[in-house]
Every structure is written in structure tokens, then in C-alpha cells.
Amino acid sequence: MTLLDTPRKHGDASDGGAIGARLSRLDGKLKITGAATYALEQPVDGLAYAVLVPATIGAGRVARIDVAAAKAAPGVRLILTPDDDLGLQPATDWNNVRASDGPYVPLPRDIAYNGQPVALVVADSLEQATEAARRLAIAYEEGPVTPGLDSPNAGEGSPLDQLSVAWGDAEAALAAAPVRVEAEYHTPREYHAAMEPHGLIARWEGDRLTVWEPSQWTHSMARSYAEWFGLPPENVRLVSPFVGGGFGSKGFSYGFGAIAAAAARRLGRPVKLAVTRPQNFAAYGGRAATRQSLALGATEDGVLQAIVLRGASETSTVGTWVEQVGAATPLMYAVPNFSARQRLVAVNTVTPGALRAPGKTPSAFAIESAIDELACAVGADPLEIRLRNYAEEDPQARKPWSTRRMREALAEGAEAFGWARRSREPRSMRDGHQLIGWGLATGTFPVIRNYGEALVRILADGSAEVVTGATDIGQGTYTILAQTAAEALGIPFERIDVRLGDSALPGAPVAGGSKLAGVMTGAVQKAAIAARDELIALALNDPNSPFRDTGANTLILADGRISAPRGDGPVVSVGELLGRIGRERIEVRRDTLPDHLQTPEGRFRAWTTMTTVQGPTAGDYSMHSWCAHFVEVRVDEDFGTIRVARMVSAFDCGRLYNPKLAESQWKGGIIMGIGMALLEEGLVDSRNGRVINNNLGDYLLPTNADVPDIRVIDVGIPDPHASALGGKGVGEVGIVGVAPAIANAVFHATGRRVRRLPITLDALV
């Protein structure tokens, strides 16, 4: 070997390892042949079918339910209404807090929102249950309804002081700034609309409960069921091997799950509840509507002097969800004076929840639109103004960035897009009847860290298995954990199997917050290295090992074969070695928990709550993923129709474990951002708080025909602070900044600044 061909490590696939390679999905073949069985497809004998009945008023009470006609319908086995005492206890929330005030009542008499469950009908078949549910005669007493955030009776809500952020004197600096841009930005209710609807199969065997339910967090959801039913945690198993998309909606157990499991217990028969598509718009919450008034003060050159944000978001009257509108605002630009406050307004809706990049997404819509408005106000290029205000460190935490390749993202994105050819003036680019607009915006998502646990088995045939309760919701957990094990073990990727999605398996955090990959690759690597070390120790020491007398003090494991480093001893396959030393398998279980969590209570808390999560500034650095989106829109001059014609987005997500899969996630986030910008809006009937467009024909999602060519560029470098293998989060950052990039492009095309999403043609004509 000469110096020239000494391998150099780049931290990617060019190193020759499995990590960083553009491999196809491990679970791909199952998914393209229809063999991947999702939760509601598990074969369970003797199923009864349940149908949920939602309230049709926005607030008030169930006065009475006449069940006689429904009960008399063919095949009906059980009807649960608010008259039934289900005997449930409250479950612990993600902060590890368990309410102590009385029972948990998932079928209450009081109605807080339209679509709240009021009954469950169980019959021998789905058709029978559906028909019987129609025969329920429900009488309500209607109360006054507050349908939404901007309703006249919604009020100003209550302040969230814990979210207030301030440094310098923002109000004074704003008043004194020579240039000010001030505006109000609105984002509507949006929905996850994962293609797999929610639902579950619940089966009791004595006091043991098995729940097959799509899940982003098997351990925590199993805990909820155990606590509802007063069972020891080990009596509940939640199984979710494949998940048809979650986007934040499948991390938690919901009331419908408690009702269905209670029905199964009462009936003594397994129950399947498929939440219908329309019911998916109220059985759990989507992204809360938000409103932000945002003011920027700057010098005449567009150098920021002050940012003042006053925001509000909606929650329900029965629960608290904060869509944090200031989540991205303080991070994006260097600014000496800053103030952000937020209020929370309770309305008659199901409690909203986490939807891909919660907080960051509406937050970026306002700040990234406003900075574009500032660029216009001072006559600067939108790219240039971002460089003029470049944050060299975290302006809020005053910590250095671990890695922030935003300059590279802007430069490489601009180059690939051809940004330099953009003409500054709005309405200055056209193609016949089409006004062309080029827009830019940036995005961010924090690096969140936590702990995980994995089991690695090396088997007698020389293959290996990775086992953990973490889930794969489409982001690629199966694949990257196999890649991690392959590289650490020196066993080919094709010979690694991965088992996931079962609360009976080793512990893992929620597949949410873009952290699962970073956490679980760390845990699998640790377990795999320990398994490899154990195998090598056996090979060196076992009396029957062919390496026993070679005098080697270590061995090399590569390509499924073991050899001495000098290359002069025997070469045997892993399977052959295990056979010779009479071992069926080597099995190692490892976790990444710190010492203080190495107790039964600590482990349980780590796998079932958010209390062990470390935020992006918990250590010496401020750690985030970053991106820059460049968009071309074409707006029909006469009709105001808007098409996204092309997009280029550049990302810094640290090291990529599998670029092929990471690119898919980036594009998926971008496409959801196109929906947010142009299509998606939950429309609420102001009379009764009903989501009118509660189906996939009326709640518009991007279709194939709405999506142009999207080019994604990786500008990341391994970030050693962010995770064991150097990756930052990939799954959520892609959506952040897309809506403002499109809004900015629409402004460039038309001269109209639209500050209320989605941007529809009525805002342009």
C-alpha cells in the first residue's frame, strides 16, 4: 500500500462502510408486494368490529341517547355511551405527570368540540356496526360555541409567560430604527392526514392486553393503556411493525383507544376499531391555527436592530397544546434587541397536537416573510439581506453553533437554482400570461437528544439481528439500523435483520422531534460493537477456536469473516466460528442511558416520557439542522392560479446515514410545505365548530400533479456534538421555510404580499 491509496475517511459511503451508503430500504420489498402488515391488518381470530360515533354539536351536553333501535339491529353486541362507567384511571402525560382527580372518562357527557366521541357500537361485522351506529337517537343540549382563533368571541386568551423571550430593549430599538416593517401573519388549522388512518385492534387474555395500533412510540402508548386499566406495565403489549405515516399524530394513545379496549374487555372478544377518514379530523388534533404580529427594525442597509413578536395560537377547552410561534424567530438572524410573547386561546376544538416541525413551521412563515419584506424595503437582494444579518452564534443562548452550514446552503442552493439571474423588481419576469416569481426562505430544526436501547444477536448462520421497540414510520429506521449494525459487526447489510415496533422489545424514545435516528444508531452501534468484541474474545480464547493458537491479540471482522490482522492465520466465517466453539448465538443488549437513569424507574421514565430529552442548547453548543429553499412559481395573470414550477433546497443535517432515504424525507417535508403554502386549511363551520372539509377530497393535499421537480443538495458535515454518528435531524427541517419561500416568490411574481396561508387565487385577483 502506498501513501496515495491510504483510505481517507469522509464519514460517508466513500469510506466503503455501510453507513452513508445509498442503500434501498430494508423493508422495501415487503412494502411493494403488499406483505408489510400494518396494525389493523394483523390476523386476529374472533374479531368484533367497532364504529365510533362523534358528536354533531360544538359544545354542550349529551342529554340522552336512545339505544333501543341500534341494539335491535342485526349483529350488534355492545353499545357504550356516556351512561357506561368504563372504570378507567388517568394516564401519565409526557411530562411524567399523572392527574389524580378522579377517573378517566373518554366518553364524557359534556361536549367540548364537534366530533368528540359520544358512543361506540360493536357488532359482528363492520357493515352491521356502521348501520347500527346510524340508528342511535342522540339528543343534545347545545351550548355556546367558540369555533376558532379568530372568532369574535374567542378573546385574547391567556399569556404564556414561560415562552417570553427578551434581550436588549426591543420596543425602544424598534421605535428608533430608521426602517421598520410590521405585519400580521396567519396560519390555519392543518392536519396530518397520514394515508393510514388511526385505529386499533385490542385483545384481552385474562388481565393481559395486546394492542395493535399504529405508533410512533410503542413504550409510551403501552404505558397509557396499562395505567387506564390499572395494570402492571408488563401486562400490556403494543405492536406496530409498520406505520402508514404519523407526522406527529401517532405518538400518543387517544380516547378512542381507551373506549375500544374497554369494549373488548367488556365483550370478552377482540375488537377492531378503524377510525374513519372524516373522524380522523377530530379524533386527535392537527396543527393549531396561529396569528403573529411581527415587527422588524433595521438600519437603512437592512441590518436588524430589533425584532418584536406578539403571537397567539389556539388550544382546546379541555387540554393544552402550544404551537410555539416564536420557535424559530430568535435563531435565524443576529439582532441586538429582541422580544417575543405568545398567548394561548381556548376554542371548541379537539386539542391540537404536534404536526411535522411544530412551532418552527408557522414561526418561519412569519420571520422568513418579514425578512423578505425588509429586503424590499431597503432595496436589498433577499439572499444578501440574510448574509448581512448572519448569526455567527445562537443569538438567544449565546452559544456557538455546533455546525451551521447556512452560508453553504445559501450559496450552493443559489448556484444550482440560478438565483443570480433573478431580476429584483416584482412583476418583472414573465412567460406569456404567466408571471414568474423567484423566492427564497430558510428553515431550521433543533437537534434533540435522548437515550435508547437495542439488542444485537449474531446467529449461527453468520447473520445478525437488531431488535428494539423503536418504530419506522417511513423515515427508514429499519434500514439505517441495519446499516449501523453491518458496519460495526463487519457483517454484510444483506445479512442483517431488524425487528421493530413492539413495546415488549428494548426501549426507545418517540419517533418524533427528528431524533430517533441519532439516538438509535448510537444505541445499535454500542450494542453491535459489544457483540463483536464478545465474538472476538471467544475466537481468541475458546479452546475450540482456530484462532486460539495464532498468537494474535485481536482479530478483524469484515464481510462476515474473521481473520488475523496480519493476514497470515485462518479465515473463517462468523457462522463457522460459532459452530466450532459450540455457540448458537451471541446476544448483547446495551443502552445509552447515563448512570443516574440506570434504575428501573429511570429506565421506565426514559422510554415512556419526554423528561429525559435534552434540548439543542443543553450542552456547550447550540445544535440545529438548517436549510435554504429556492422556489420558482408561475402565476396566471388573469386567473391568479399559482403553480410551483421548480424548487432547489440545500440542507445541513450533519452526516447522512443513508442519503437516498434522507433525500426522500427532505422532499416529503418540502411537499408538505407546498401543501401548507397553497392548499391546506381546516375550514370550520362557525355555527357548530365542525371541520367542514373533513375528508381527502375537500381538505386539499398536494397531489402528484401539484409537485414539480425538486432538487435537494446536501451541504452538511458530520456534527460530533449532535449524535454518536454525527447526524442531525432530517425528518422535519424540510417543511420549515417552504411556505414563506413560496409566499416570497408569489410576491416577486405579482407584487402582492400574502400573509395568510394558504395562498389561494382569491388573494391575487
Partner 1 sequence: MTTEITIELDINGRSETLTLDPRVTLLDALREHLGLTGTKKGCDQGQCGACTVHVDGARVLSCLTLAAQAAGRPVTTIEGLSAPGGELHPVQAAFLEHDAFQCGYCTPGQIMSAVACIREGHAGSDEEIREYMAGNLCRCGAYPHIVAAVRQAAEMAS
The residues assigned a catalytic role are: 732
Please say whether the beta carbons of 521 and 725 come within 8 A.
Answer: yes
Select from ligand FES, partner 1, none the partner in contact with residue 106, using the beta carbon and a kind-dependent cut-off of 5 to 8 Å. none
Q: Who contacts 172 (Cβ-Cβ below 8 Å, separation ≥6)? A: 337
703 in contact with partner 1 (CB under 8 A): yes
Q: How far, in Å, CA of 145 to CA of 153, rounded? A: 9
Site string for partner 1, 647-676 (x = CB under 8 A): -------------xx-xxx-xxxxxx----
Site for partner 1 in 169-208 (CB under 8 A): 192-197
704 in contact with partner 1 (CB under 8 A): yes
Please say whether the beta carbons of 630 and 664 come within 8 A.
Answer: no
Instruction: Identify the bridge partners of residue 652 per DSSP, sorted by sequence position.
Output: 626
Q: How far is the CB of 667 from ligand FES (least distance, A)?
A: 12
474 in contact with partner 1 (CB under 8 A): yes
SS3 18: coil
Nearer to partner 1, 242 or 657 (CB): 242
The candidate with the shortest Cα–Cα distance to 446, out of 235, 719, 249, is 719
129 in contact with partner 1 (CB under 8 A): no
Which of these ranges, 125-133, 135-143, 400-408, 459-467, lies near partner 1 under the rule CB under 8 A? 125-133
Which of these ranges, 96-104, 165-173, 527-535, 693-701, lies near partner 1 under the rule CB under 8 A? 693-701
Residue 75 Rama label (left phi>0; alpha psi -120 to 50; beta): left
Tell whether the torsion through CA atoms of 214, 220, 223 and 227 is positive or negative: negative
Q: How far, in Å, CA of 442 to CA of 413, rounded? A: 11
Nearer to partner 1, 27 or 719 (CB): 27
Select from partner 1, ligand FES, none the partner in contact with residue 475, using the beta carbon and a kind-dependent cut-off of 5 to 8 Å. partner 1
Q: Which three cell numbers stand for residue 25?
A: 430500504
Nearer to partner 1, 244 or 326 (CB): 244
Q: How far, in Å, CA of 662 to CA of 653, rounded? A: 9
Nearer to partner 1, 25 or 386 (CB): 25
Residue 551 Rama label (left phi>0; alpha psi -120 to 50; beta): left
Q: What is the DSSP string of 377-394?
A: HHT--HHHHHHHTB-SB-
Q: How far is the CB of 553 from partner 1 (least distance, A)?
A: 43
188 in contact with ligand FES (CB under 6 A): no
SS3 735: helix
125 in contact with partner 1 (CB under 8 A): yes
Distances (CA, A) of 458 to 16, 25, 531, 678: 22, 21, 7, 50
Instruction: Identify the bridge partners of residue 16 per DSSP, sorted by sequence position.
Output: none
Nearer to partner 1, 1 or 705 (CB): 705
Nearer to partner 1, 170 or 194 (CB): 194
Question: Contact with ligand FES (CB under 6 A): which of 4, 68, 195, 705?
Answer: 195
| Sheet of 110-111, strands arranged across | 110-111, 60-66, 137-142
Nearer to ligand FES, 548 or 660 (CB): 660
How do beta strands 556-558 and 561-563 pair? Answer: antiparallel
Please say whether the beta carbons of 516 and 508 come within 8 A.
Answer: yes
| Number of residues engaging ligand FES in binding (CB under 6 A) | 3
Site string for partner 1, 250-289 (x = CB under 8 A): ------------------------x-xx------------
Which of these ranges, 439-447, 449-457, 594-602, 703-711, lies near partner 1 under the rule CB under 8 A? 703-711
Q: How far is the CB of 227 from partner 1 (least distance, A)?
A: 29
Q: How far is the CB of 701 from ligand FES (least distance, A)?
A: 10
Select from ligand FES, partner 1, none the partner in contact with residue 705, using the beta carbon and a kind-dependent cut-off of 5 to 8 Å. partner 1
Q: What is the DSSP string of 130-169?
A: HHHHHT-EEEEEE-----STTSTTS---EE-GGG-EEES-
Select from partner 1, ligand FES, none the partner in contact with residue 74, using the beta carbon and a kind-dependent cut-off of 5 to 8 Å. partner 1
> How is residue 448 annotated by DSSP?
-
Nearer to partner 1, 28 or 400 (CB): 28
Nearer to partner 1, 193 or 606 (CB): 193
Select from partner 1, ligand FES, none the partner in contact with residue 152, using the beta carbon and a kind-dependent cut-off of 5 to 8 Å. none
Q: How far is the CB of 665 from partner 1 (least distance, A)?
A: 7
Residue 372 Rama label (left phi>0; alpha psi -120 to 50; beta): alpha
Please say whether the beta carbons of 361 and 353 come within 8 A.
Answer: no
248 in contact with ligand FES (CB under 6 A): no
Crossing angle (nearest 10°) for helices 600-608 and 218-228: 110
> How is residue 405 annotated by DSSP?
-
Question: Contact with ligand FES (CB under 6 A): which of 168, 197, 245, 546?
Answer: 245
Q: How far is the CB of 30 from partner 1 (least distance, A)?
A: 8
Nearer to ligand FES, 195 or 705 (CB): 195
Please say whether the beta carbons of 674 and 738 come within 8 A.
Answer: yes
Nearer to partner 1, 125 or 164 (CB): 125
Query: CB neighbours (10 Å) of residue 431?
Result: 9
Instruction: Strands of 240-303 (E only): list them.
Output: 271-274, 290-298
Q: How far is the CB of 360 from partner 1 (least distance, A)?
A: 18
Select from ligand FES, partner 1, none the partner in contact with residue 665, using the beta carbon and a kind-dependent cut-off of 5 to 8 Å. partner 1
Q: How far is the CB of 85 from ligand FES (least distance, A)?
A: 36
SS (H, E, C) 618-672: CCCCECEEEEEEEEEEEEECCCCCEEEEEEEEEEECECCCCHHHHHHHHHHHHHH
678 in contact with partner 1 (CB under 8 A): no
Select from ligand FES, partner 1, none the partner in contact with residue 605, using the beta carbon and a kind-dependent cut-off of 5 to 8 Å. none
Query: CB neighbours (10 Å) of residue 334?
Result: 13
The candidate with the shortest Cα–Cα distance to 467, out of 591, 564, 283, 573, is 591
Q: How far, in Å, CA of 92 to CA of 98, rounded? A: 4
Q: How far, in Å, CA of 439 to CA of 413, rounded? A: 12
CA atoms within 13 A on the CB side of 128: 15
Instruction: Identify the bridge partners of residue 75 per DSSP, sorted by sequence position.
Output: none
Q: How far, in Å, CA of 9 to CA of 7, rounded? A: 6
SS3 418: coil
Q: How far is the CB of 731 from ligand FES (least distance, A)?
A: 13
Q: Which three cell numbers stand for residue 235?
A: 401486562
Q: How far, in Å, CA of 446 to CA of 464, rounded? A: 33
251 in contact with ligand FES (CB under 6 A): no
69 in contact with partner 1 (CB under 8 A): no
Q: Which residue is nearest to ligand FES (CB)?
A: 195
Q: How far is the CB of 195 from ligand FES (least distance, A)?
A: 4
Select from ligand FES, partner 1, none the partner in contact with residue 716, using the beta carbon and a kind-dependent cut-off of 5 to 8 Å. none
Nearer to ligand FES, 28 or 400 (CB): 28
474 in contact with ligand FES (CB under 6 A): yes
Q: How far is the CB of 476 from partner 1 (least distance, A)?
A: 8
28 in contact with ligand FES (CB under 6 A): no
Nearer to partner 1, 242 or 252 (CB): 242
710 in contact with partner 1 (CB under 8 A): yes
Question: Contact with partner 1 (CB under 8 A): which of 35, 69, 172, 387?
Answer: 35
Contact set with partner 1 (CB under 8 A): 24-25, 27-38, 41, 43, 74-75, 125-128, 131, 192-197, 242-245, 247, 274, 276-277, 473-476, 660-661, 663-665, 667-672, 695-697, 701-707, 709-710
Residues forming the site for ligand FES (CB under 6 A): 195, 245, 474
